Amino acid sequence: MRTADGGARAAAPPRARGADGGSPMGSERVEMRKRQVCAAQGPAAAAPGPRGVGNRGPNACCFCWCCCCSCSCLTVRNQEEQRLRSASYELRTEDLPICEESPGPSLEEASAWAQSFDKLMLTPAGRNAFREFLRTEFSEENMLFWMACEELKKEANKTTIEEKARIIYEDYVSILSPKEVSLDSRVRETINRSMAEPSPHIFDDAQLQIYTLMHRDSYPRFMNSALYKDLLRSLSEKAVEA
């Protein structure tokens, strides 16, 4: 190529192109690539914020409000609940009074228990058999409460009445007791008002309520239980042998 004065001008060297034959790889393109890389890495490279409820690591446990697959919170919680249930049952069954002293029932006596709940509860042998059944249903405290109320009615000394009433209240009426029986709010309020000066009949309404509960709920199951049927079978065999 020649200049205007007729001289020759050297041809400009070709500009470098990228490997794909596209736009030139100059300083502008380098800067553009840097900006693209920085933009792509920005969110990932950002420093993690404070760990809160919505920003927990993969090992978050025990205090998380959700349950992730790597968290063992539920297992630990279930084990703790099972331990507490076992401990509660141990409290319910320890130091309970022994069965009433009574000779074994005859076949006629045991058969009469099926006629009515009253006949079952009239004899020590019947109460012992029924109490053994209640123990299998974890409701023995109902019979123990009823028996304690019967004993309280026999007392005449004021100091003894107050002491026994307090023990019965703490063992079977208080909501803090592991042997608490099921009473409605009206009966509880009446007992609470009377505890200042308890009488031998302070628990009469509560005793009747528990008696009715055992009659309607537990007695029919006792009549159909293997425990009662096995007792009748055993007494029948003894009667035949005699």
Q: What interhelical angle do 158-168 and 140-153 show, nearest 10? A: 170
Taking only the tens place, the pLDDT of each residue in 190-201 is 999 999 999 999
- The residue-averaged pLDDT of 16-24 equals 45
- The residue-averaged pLDDT of 127-137 equals 96
**What pLDDT shows up at residue 27?**
53
Taking only the tens place, the pLDDT of each residue in 140-149 is 999 999 999 9
**What pLDDT shows up at residue 222?**
98
**What pLDDT shows up at residue 101?**
76
Domain ranges of the chain: 107-241
pLDDT band at residue 14 using 50, 70 and 90 as cut-offs: very low
Please indicate whether residue 109 or residue 30 has the higher confidence score (pLDDT).
109
Judging by beta carbons within 10 Å of its beta carbon (0-12, 13-18, 19+), is residue 45 exposed, middle or buried? exposed
- The residue-averaged pLDDT of 122-140 equals 96
**What pLDDT shows up at residue 36?**
61
**What pLDDT shows up at residue 103?**
78
For domain 107-241, the CATH superfamily is Regulator of G-protein Signalling 4, domain 2 (1.10.167.10)
46-60, 74-88, 115-129: segment of lowest average pLDDT: 46-60
- Name the residue type at position 152: L
- The residue-averaged pLDDT of 47-66 equals 43
**What pLDDT shows up at residue 116?**
97
Please indicate whether residue 115 or residue 51 has the higher confidence score (pLDDT).
115
**What pLDDT shows up at residue 37?**
54
Taking only the tens place, the pLDDT of each residue in 70-102 is 444 455 555 555 554 444 444 444 444 556 777
pTM of the predicted model as reported, rounded to 2 decimal places: 0.61
